[in-house]
Amino acid sequence: MRAIGLMSGTSFDGVDVALVETNGERIEAFGPSGYRPYTTDERAVLARALADAPAISVRTERPGAVAEAESIVTDAHAEAVERFFAEHGLRADDVDVIGFHGQTVLHRPADRLTVQIGDGQALARRLGVQVVYDFRAADVAAGGQGAPLAPTIHPVLVRALDLPRPLAVLNLGGVGNVTFIGADGALVAFDTGPANALMDDRLLRETGEAFDRDGAIAASGVVNREALARLLGHPYFDVAPPKSLDRNAFDAGPTETLPLPDALATLAAFTVEAVVRAAGHLPQPPALWIVAGGGARNPTLLAGLRDRLQVEVKTADAVGLSADALEAQAFAVLAVRSLKGLPLTYPGTTGAPRPLTGGVLARS
């Protein structure tokens, strides 16, 4: 099947698009990928929605800016696919299904509540392609964490690559998550902690820039060890997996009084140390770490990971995958798996009580 995956992660910088040919259990071919950034105004609405979302107690509620943000998210994803079709000479009939993650605005699995905004029905009608959406709800309702989801697909994505085992796939978006793939196929996955979100939020507030390009500002600063120790005192790091995070589970309070370069240097070190703490929860030390997401474009983070993990660390691009499109590719495969009734989550990835299917189908 030819599937498009759409991903807007916790950094809410934009929409990733990826085309994959897959049967849900193996990759037959990777197609092109694309990206549609959110505008400054759109990001401002999304930020307000994140602030208003904690008022949600029933997942269909859309208080404050959340309703406006849902409309923005739906339109942005539709535009992303329309541009993608135009750029690559595709039509709706060329695609069997679209996997639409939506935008997470609230994630409280302990309360069996997770909210991803985006109107899957409206997206299917506008694009003329069936859409699978709302991937996390069934897992959370069953008592799982509902996250991370991409780890189910990471073994599929790396299957044809000659890579050592055990292997770790580390996605550094707004929040970080790791997938451990053992030599025997054992799969363990969980959120590591903050990745880019805290750094991006500080930079946007102070400069209007979306992210620290090439990690240059962080590289020019000095890590404040006292602030770093306070950040690492969060109880999340001592919790055994399965575990997952809301984007706002951490705050950068200990770095607020620091100059921007020192704040970003400290928050980058925090991201690295969060991964080091996560490594302590893995069944074995990985022989290789593959880094994807925005963090794969940050040399400061990569250098810190290599120094602290003391093992080979490569970007997804360096091993033949796509650092930018990996999560979108995963949701293309997840959509096909949903159509076929194959599991999207497992006890080792989300703490689900058993392998679970999921996703809601919207017909065009």
- CA-angle at 8, arms to 6 and 9, nearest 5°: 130
Q: Residue 360: what pLDDT?
A: 98
Is residue 106 classed as helix, strand or coil in its secondary structure? strand
pLDDT bracket for residue 98 (50, 70, 90): very high
Q: Residue 319: what pLDDT?
A: 97
pLDDT bracket for residue 12 (50, 70, 90): confident
Give tens-digit pLDDT for 131-180. 999 999 999 999 999 999 999 999 999 988 999 999 999 999 999 999 99
Give tens-digit pLDDT for 35-62. 999 999 999 999 999 999 999 999 999 9
Across the range 187-201, mean pLDDT stands at 96
- Specify burial of residue 280 (Cβ count, 10 A radius: 0-12, 13-18, 19+): exposed
For 59, which DSSP code? T
| pLDDT > 90? residue 314 | yes
Across the range 105-129, mean pLDDT stands at 97
Question: How many Å apart are CA 30 and CA 20, to the nearest integer?
Answer: 5
| pLDDT > 90? residue 248 | no
Residue with tokens 């299904």: 97
- Specify burial of residue 278 (Cβ count, 10 A radius: 0-12, 13-18, 19+): buried
pLDDT bracket for residue 329 (50, 70, 90): very high
Name residue 202's amino acid.
R
Average pLDDT over the chain reads: 96
Give tens-digit pLDDT for 51-97. 999 999 999 999 999 999 999 999 999 999 999 999 999 999 999 99
Answer yes or no: are the C-beta atoms of 12 and 101 closer than 8 Å: no
Answer yes or no: are the C-beta atoms of 40 and 208 closer than 8 Å: yes
N-terminal to C-terminal alpha carbon distance within the chain: 17
Q: What is the pTM of this model?
A: 0.94
Q: Residue 91: what pLDDT?
A: 97
